[in-house]
Chain A
Amino acid sequence: MGFLELSPFETEALRLSLWVSVWAVAGSLPPGIFLAWLLARKRFLGKFILDGLVHLPLVLPPVVMGYILLVLLGRKGVLGAWLYDVFGITFAFNWKGAAVASAVMAFPLLVRAVRLSVEGVDQGLEAAARTLGASPARVFFTITLPLTLPGVLTGTVLAFARSLSEFGATITFVSNIPGETRTLPLALYTLTQVPGGEEGAFRLCVISVILAMTALIASELLSRRLASKIRG
């Protein structure tokens, strides 16, 4: 039991990781669903640029992404300075910044999964709803969204798992501050750099794998249940 017991260092990292990821995903959902719907249903000038921007975090090195966030949202950043002066909001060296870093890196996965699901919704059904008197907004909330739910669920869990594993962007943007930004991956890294940290590192590794596997299995099961419920 002694081996499996987590030290306060590790418990803190786990708690922080979960907290940061939950907020990262919650904050990503509204814009993620909206953009997924926009990319799936609408045609407009510059659509491919938007598509590219959404996918950027998927292909850029995480450290580069973290640096971009620093330039934009850091204390002296383009937006960051304004946000601090006007609203008193800061992302520098705190869990909110870690959440932003995780959210940005996980965003493409969320959008892709939801977009795929939206594209699978029969537009004929949406047209039928319009002829029955539903406004486009009502059609979205009563027809499109319910039918997209399996995709939203999959996207959410994928995004959550990705958030938990975010390292490069987090450490570049908000550093490695215990209790504030030292999430699981950062804590694991820290332990590998310190003599005698192997046991702790291993424990964190096991936890990470368990979390990831649970997320994947849960998402698969729930998604299937939901899909069959929708199909009746």
Chain B
Amino acid sequence: MKKPVPGASTLAAPKPQKNWDWRAASNFIAGGAGGALLFFASISGFEPAPTRMAILFALILIGCGLTCVWFEIGRPLRALNVYRHIATSWMTREAFVALAVFATGGLAWLLVQPLLALLAGIAGLAFLYSQARILAANKGIPAWRHPRSVSLMVATGLAEGAGFLACVASMSGASISFWHALALLILIAIRALVWKGYLAGLTAEGAPEGALRVLDGIAPRLAVFGHVLPGLAVAAALAGMPGRPALMFAAGILVVAGGWFLKYTLVRRAAFTQGLAVVRLPARGGGPAGPAVKPGWKPVPGAKAG
């Protein structure tokens, strides 16, 4: 049976990217959360046992993400070539930072030494930031190249890291202070605001209709399960309701799940390509030239082109 032929103008319209599948998405999902968890573990002030547990978990998350992406690349045996272009490539920088993460994180896990843990935490933050910049450097994907995508990736990574720390603390019996809970609540609020700002900016400046449809579609679920419910759980813990560890665990899981849902959507489902366009249709025969054509984009009055 013959495959259906795409409509004439659909070939020029933005299409969902197909080159980075769940394996690449896993690197952003797990790696960002792991980097932030490493940072919060380093400044948590927890006892050595839960700190070590958090550091180990963070390293496992980052390692799993990098392993997934290794399985995705076309020539895995040449993977070390990734270290060749530190001048401009955020992927190269991420790879160098990963070395620092595992070196300092591994030593911090072994020795539980505060300075080493802090260095590992800073490396974790750098890893998270590198990942955000990898996405933003991709001019071919409008939903990624928007300047606010960097703050969105960092904000959700930090919220996920704090969420994971809450889970680790709840499971290990570490004392969760008022300040730990307040920090998680603030990070949830920041992520909600940054997400709202990102979506508003993307809509105002223009993006492929498909990308906006996907992102608008997840907004209610993200608001309820990623922000409101975990926010209420943390608020209840702060208010002194009984069962603080369980409340913090539930809040942490919801924050992480919300962030992973957001990142998977951004990397996989909302990643529509730029598509092709003409500034003017050509003059043909005796007729005049025609207007601009940009299939798959909704015209935005006053928005800059792109």
Do A and B bind? Answer: no
